[in-house]
């Protein structure tokens, strides 16, 4: 008997029929003799609809009330799911985030889990019940208010529950078959991976892959939670997200974990680039600039500084950040232009980021040459480059991104034999 945590995304519980289908899957797992804890998202596009509604009654909804509102979405799906399970003759009990002991900090809209005290869940399991928990929400002990974890937060709920209950596996169900070597909507010949290293998964998620949320992957790595990404709509084997150091009896042997040089290609159109032109080339200026940007709340990703022109003693600094942060960052920088002494700012929101990720990069040379060669054959200009130990990222024109991704995917030998089936899905 294992303790299995399952997470079902919004598209898996979009209507009554889907809820019944999910209930059946849960009951089948229980029938197989396992203890089951489920984290569930709000039905379909409920969260977006609630957000939209909030925007109609207030230009800037109060964060506390917004969390009250959004957390109601998951209450609906958890109760319906428990009812559906009852009608199949099984005992199920639903719990809100606070009942489940999801303790977070007080940051409305982007709360971080600080503790999980699943006392009531453990009791319910001991009494033989299936446990259903509302994803995406928590409770702060100081303010005694309901919080939410940020969009896509139900993945994190599931992983945190798995860690706190010492579950054998955390199954993340969505409407795609697992983790692919690239987004199949961008690269039709993308292949589903049977397994991927957790470190690679972290880089893929951080660089645009949307199947798993980065905070959930981080949490899983930190707490040694085994993630299994699967589809609600098929019985395929999905993808195991593995820690090289950890073994689990649940993971099928067979295809041994051969370490591919490149595991996948991630694409991201959500970033913008800001260039600060004519920055005095003296110590302290980069510090000034990025202090201002950080204070504006923007999350900087890549940074490039050009060589300075000897004649002028000035240099240009470019960085990328989420498109949604760009306006505030630009405003903050303009406000301090005189103090910092730069000449002007350029905002470019037509960029695309392509990243190649693979643990094998550590021990293989020539990985970046293959990337640059593929881009050069495609006539795609590289605007910025950054690397980590297991990743190379380039910024290109946004319009070139899809074509570049296909060619790079082919260049690394990642193409499958046939086009991947793309369900209508969003990966959630």
Interface with Mg ion (CB under 5 A)? 10, 41, 47
Q: In which residue are the tokens 């293959």 written?
A: 370
Cβ contact 250:169 at 8 Å: yes
CA distances from 310 to 70, 140, 280 (A): 55, 55, 11
How far apart CA 382 and CA 36 sit, in angstroms, is: 48
Binding to ligand ASP, residues 280-299 (CB under 6 A): none
- 45-80: b or e for each residue (b if 16 or more CB lie within 10 Å)? bbbeebbeebeeeeeebebeebbbbbbbbbbebbeb
CB of residue 428 to Mg ion, shortest distance in Å? 5
**Residue 218 or residue 403: which is nearer to ligand ASP going by CB?**
218
User: Under the criterion CB under 6 A, does residue 323 sit at the interface with ligand ASP?
Assistant: no
User: Under the criterion CB under 6 A, does residue 64 sit at the interface with ligand ASP?
Assistant: no
User: Under the criterion CB under 6 A, does residue 208 sit at the interface with ligand ASP?
Assistant: no
Total site size for ligand ASP, rule CB under 6 A? 13
CB of residue 427 to ligand ASP, shortest distance in Å? 11
Secondary structure letter of residue 366 according to DSSP:
S
The token pair at 245 is 């150091």
**Residue 352 or residue 427: which is nearer to Mg ion going by CB?**
427
Q: Give the contact letters, 128-167, x = binds to ligand ASP (CB under 6 A), - = no.
A: -------xx--------------xxxx-------------
From the list ligand ASP, Mg ion, none, partner contacted by residue 153 (C-beta under 5 to 8 A by kind)? ligand ASP
**Residue 48 or residue 419: which is nearer to ligand ASP going by CB?**
48
User: Under the criterion CB under 6 A, does residue 41 sit at the interface with ligand ASP?
Assistant: yes
**Biggest distance spanned by C-alpha atoms of the chain:** 81
CA dihedral 302, 114, 210, 21 (to 10 degrees): 180
User: Under the criterion CB under 6 A, does residue 118 sit at the interface with ligand ASP?
Assistant: no
Binding to ligand ASP, residues 326-345 (CB under 6 A): none
From the list ligand ASP, Mg ion, none, partner contacted by residue 104 (C-beta under 5 to 8 A by kind)? none
Residues β-bridged to residue 241: 196, 227
How far apart CA 39 and CA 156 sit, in angstroms, is: 9
Cβ contact 328:252 at 8 Å: no
Residue nearest to Mg ion (CB): 10
Cβ contact 75:68 at 8 Å: no
CB of residue 341 to ligand ASP, shortest distance in Å? 42
- Only one of the segments 41-49, 196-204, 220-228, 244-252 lies at the binding site for ligand ASP (rule: CB under 6 A); that segment is 41-49
Residues that bind ligand ASP (CB under 6 A): 9-10, 41-42, 47, 73, 135-136, 151-154, 428
């Amino acid at each position: 008997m294992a303790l299995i945590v399952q997470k079902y995304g919004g598209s898996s519980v979009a209507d009554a029929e889907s809820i019944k289908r999910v209930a059946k899957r849960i009951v089948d797992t229980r029938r197989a003799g396992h203890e089951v804890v489920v984290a569930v998202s709000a039905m379909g596009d409920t969260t977006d609809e609630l957000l939209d509604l909030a925007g109609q009654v207030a230009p800037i909804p109060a964060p506390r009330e917004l969390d009250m509102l959004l957390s109601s979405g998951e209450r609906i799906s958890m109760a319906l799911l428990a009812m559906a399970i009852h009608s199949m003759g099984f005992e199920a009990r639903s719990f809100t985030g606070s009942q489940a002991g999801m303790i977070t900090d007080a940051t409305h809209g982007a709360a971080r889990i600080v503790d999980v005290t699943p006392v009531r869940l453990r009791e319910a399991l001991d009494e033989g019940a299936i446990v259903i928990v509302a994803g995406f929400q928590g409770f702060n002990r100081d303010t005694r208010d309901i919080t939410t974890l940020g969009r896509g937060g139900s993945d994190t709920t599931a992983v945190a529950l798995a860690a706190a209950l010492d579950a054998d596996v955390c199954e993340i169900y969505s409407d795609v078959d697992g983790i692919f070597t690239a987004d199949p909507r961008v690269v039709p010949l993308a292949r589903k991976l049977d397994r991927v290293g957790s470190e690679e998964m972290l880089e893929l998620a951080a660089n645009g892959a949307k199947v798993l949320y980065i905070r959930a992957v981080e949490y899983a790595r930190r707490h040694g939670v085994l993630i299994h990404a699967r589809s609600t709509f098929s019985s395929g084997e999905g993808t195991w997200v593995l820690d090289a150091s950890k073994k689990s009896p649940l993971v099928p042997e067979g295809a041994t974990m051969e370490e591919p040089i490149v595991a996948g290609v991630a694409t991201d159109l959500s970033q913008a680039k800001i260039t600060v032109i004519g920055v005095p080339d003296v110590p302290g200026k980069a510090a000034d600039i990025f202090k201002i940007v950080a204070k504006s709340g923007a999350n900087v990703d890549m940074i490039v500084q050009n060589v300075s022109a000897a004649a002028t003693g000035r240099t240009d600094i470019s960085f990328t950040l989420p498109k949604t942060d760009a306006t505030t960052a630009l405003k903050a920088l303009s406000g301090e232009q005189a103090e910092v002494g730069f000449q002007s700012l350029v905002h470019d929101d037509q960029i695309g980021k392509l990243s190649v990720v693979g643990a094998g990069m550590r021990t293989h040379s020539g990985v970046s040459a293959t990337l640059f060669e593929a881009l050069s054959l495609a006539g795609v200009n590289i605007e910025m480059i950054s690397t980590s130990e297991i990743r190379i990222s380039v910024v290109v024109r946004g319009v070139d991104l899809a074509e570049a991704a296909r060619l790079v995917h082919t260049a690394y030998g990642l193409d499958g034999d046939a086009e991947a089936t793309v369900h209508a899905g969003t990966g959630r």
